[in-house]
Amino acid sequence: MTDPGEPGPIGADPAESGDGEGESVRAASDTAAAGEPETPADVAALADRIASAVEEVIVGKRDAVEHVLVTVLARGHLLVEDVPGVGKTTLAKSVARSIDGSFKRVQFTPDLLPSDITGVNVFNRRTDEFDFQPGPVFANVVLGDEINRAPPKTQSALLEAMEENQVTTDGTTRSLPDPFCVIATQNDVEPGQTYELPVAEVDRFTKKIRLGYPDTDEEAAILDRLAGEHPVDAVEPVATVGDVRRARAIVGEIEASEAVREYVARLAVFTRRNAELGASPRGSLALIRASQARAALDGRGYVIPDDVQAEAPTVLSHRIRTEAGGTDGTDVVDDALDRVRVE
């Protein structure tokens, strides 16, 4: 089951789709974006604009919004594990709207097929040829809702897309839009009706977070905002996908010194020595990239240990399997941060 999301060609901005709203969206984007970011300080300003736009919809979740922004800037993907109804879909859609990007939603179910995600070749009788019908994975922001309700074969349809930003069907490889980010939600309430995500797929998620329930004041504010039309429909673009591409490039150039890289490596080695399955080299790379993005959110052109320590719990914990067979590596990461010294 898919949500058609924003109209328009594959990878195109909604503003270019030719519908009646195109000109207004383009005008909003041009007004909001005062030129592409050129420095880490510009990236920080861009991230603040996006976060402020999202917070018009998502109440009291600034940390979660920043986790999403770090993930996007780090060229990664996000796994959100939580109970139904706390705003996971709204968060993903509002981020997509704020960057003027295309958005698609996939409701994972036990009968969902891999081709329902990646797309399929359909025979065209008029041309006597097969035409490729792209699946919902061809969007800037893809929400995989309750990803663990689908069997492993369907879950694995995202592996190539998440790792290489491309999809191969019937021997043909097609590039995905840039930027491309998967925000997947995982149902942790009904374990008897779900399939555990393969380790290889969990490892492809840069971060794993929980949103949690709002407090009393936040929930009252939510009820007030949702009394009429859903506020996500009123979110205006405050950036463009081009801005995000440029911001990603700047983040990739932020300096991570040899001392910082060695610190990250020692943290990863600690997890391997103190768990049945520790953080992989892919996890170490994700931690460096997330730390670069965290530095950019502070307007800095270099990574400091505080950035690594801020990102490690959400970047490394979900990759760790304890000797007892559990999936929560939070304690192992906490021990690593306490015991591994910064040199």
Look-up of token digits 């940390």: 63
pLDDT of residue 203: 92
pLDDT of residue 25: 39
- Listed as ranges, residues in the chain with pLDDT below 50 are 2-33
pLDDT of residue 36: 82
pTM given for the model: 0.83
190: number of Cβ within 10 Å: 11
Q: How far apart are CA 217 and CA 166, in angstroms?
A: 43
pLDDT of residue 13: 40
pLDDT of residue 223: 74
pLDDT of residue 264: 97
pLDDT of residue 153: 86
pLDDT of residue 227: 65
pLDDT of residue 190: 67
